[in-house]
Amino acid sequence: MTEGDAVPERTVADTAVVPVFFLSDSTGISAETMGNALLLQFPDLVFDRRTIPFISSVEAARRVVADIDAVLDAGPVPPLVFITAAEDAVRLELGRTRAPSIDFFELHMAKVEKVLGRRGKREALRLHGVGDIKRYNARMAAVEFTIEHDDGQSLRALDKADVILLAPSRCGKTPTSMYLALQHGLYVANYPLVDEDLESLDLPEPVRSYRDRCFGITTTVDRLSRVRHERRPGSRYASPEQCRWELRRASEMFAAHRIPSIDSSARSVEEISALILQTLAKSGTTPVVRQTARRSTDHEVQR
């Protein structure tokens, strides 16, 4: 049953668990991302999510449909199905399920084809597969650079960094760095601000020449103290007084050098990363420009 079919109106009880299936002939990442964006609008409901990737044949699709229909017949709550399959035959077979389904690919692909005046390839593995090997290798090189420059471990070739994250320990530098590298192909260094750095408002010497690439991350005292307490319970490092001092001094440093910063306490890594890119772009120092200029020479990436 596709999104165009009539679905009987019903109300799902707040205590019910709604089965959700993400189906794809590739990794399933797109189905998860778009499906979860919709499910987040129903915070009072509980969802039992299951991703089934690499459905590469009609036979495999038929087995998946049988499993989903069995859940539909057995449970009090009908499952919800999200599909992103590029192969026409596989997608049509998945659409035969009697459960309510949303086909993201067909929903948007037909309109894009109409606008462009040509039919798309409709092949699996183009978005999250290796695809353009040069772009993939460039992204993996960004990940390697970011791992090497995590938490100030290496200062080698810091001039190649697209972004340098500055923050006291445990404010979220590492996950943000890895996300920017893996998802956006950026070379990211992150530098921990320790007591020695925070005693002065000067930027730490290793990053002083790269102020335009720096971005600060802060958080709340309560959150920082709680996170540090899990690592070193009862220590001065985790005390609210120490956390308050470090965060205050870091904020003063950022303000003194007009370094943009963000409070990570109530934001996801995805939100933090998007805000970092947006802020740097508005300031005219977007790392994407530097990245494209450098990679186009080294890897001849497509524009």
**Same-domain pairing of 102 and 203:** no
**Same-domain pairing of 245 and 112:** no
Q: Looking at the domain assignment, is residue 124 inside a domain?
A: no
Q: How far is CA 295 from CA 135, 186, 283, 302, in A?
A: 9, 11, 22, 10
DSSP assigned state of 84 = E
Q: How far apart are CA 130 and CA 144, in angstroms?
A: 17
Residues of the chain with pLDDT under 50: 3-4, 6-8, 288-303
Task: Tell me if 151 sits within 8 A of 188, measured CB to CB.
Answer: no
**Same-domain pairing of 107 and 148:** no
User: What does the mean pLDDT of the chain come to?
Assistant: 86
Q: Tens digit of pLDDT for each residue in 71-114?
A: 999 989 999 999 999 888 999 999 999 999 999 988 888 888 88
> Quick one: which of 36, 93, 30, 34 has its CA closest to 59?
93
Q: In what order do the strands lie in the sheet with 261-263?
A: 188-192, 163-167, 214-218, 261-263
Give the pLDDT confidence score for residue 15 in this predicted structure: 73
**Same-domain pairing of 145 and 189:** yes
Q: Which residues sit in the known binding site for ADP?
A: 167-174
Model pTM score:
0.68
Q: Looking at the domain assignment, is residue 165 inside a domain?
A: yes
**Same-domain pairing of 162 and 112:** no
Q: Looking at the domain assignment, is residue 121 inside a domain?
A: no
Give the pLDDT confidence score for residue 20 in this predicted structure: 97
Q: Which residues sit in the known binding site?
A: 167-174
**Same-domain pairing of 233 and 293:** yes
**Same-domain pairing of 86 and 156:** no
Q: Looking at the domain assignment, is residue 1 inside a domain?
A: no
Give the pLDDT confidence score for residue 214 in this predicted structure: 95
Give the pLDDT confidence score for residue 165 in this predicted structure: 97
Domain boundary among 81, 116, 151: 116
**Same-domain pairing of 82 and 178:** no
Q: How far apart are CA 106 and CA 85, in angstroms?
A: 9
**Same-domain pairing of 100 and 146:** no
**Same-domain pairing of 28 and 107:** yes
Pairing of strands 163-167, 101-103: unpaired
**Same-domain pairing of 288 and 144:** yes
Q: CATH code at 41?
A: 3.40.50
Domain boundary among 59, 88, 116: 116
Q: Looking at the domain assignment, is residue 171 inside a domain?
A: yes
| Total domains in the fold of the chain | 2
Give the pLDDT confidence score for residue 95 in this predicted structure: 95
**Same-domain pairing of 75 and 28:** yes
Task: Tell me if 187 sits within 8 A of 148, measured CB to CB.
Answer: no
Kindly report the CA angle at 9 between 24 and 17, in degrees rounded to 5?
55
Q: How far apart are CA 84 and CA 242, in angstroms?
A: 49
* Range of the structural domain that residue 46 is part of: 17-116
Task: Tell me if 84 sits within 8 A of 124, measured CB to CB.
Answer: no
Give the pLDDT confidence score for residue 300 in this predicted structure: 29
Task: Tell me if 95 sits within 8 A of 114, measured CB to CB.
Answer: no
Domain boundary among 91, 116, 141: 116
Give the pLDDT confidence score for residue 13 in this predicted structure: 67
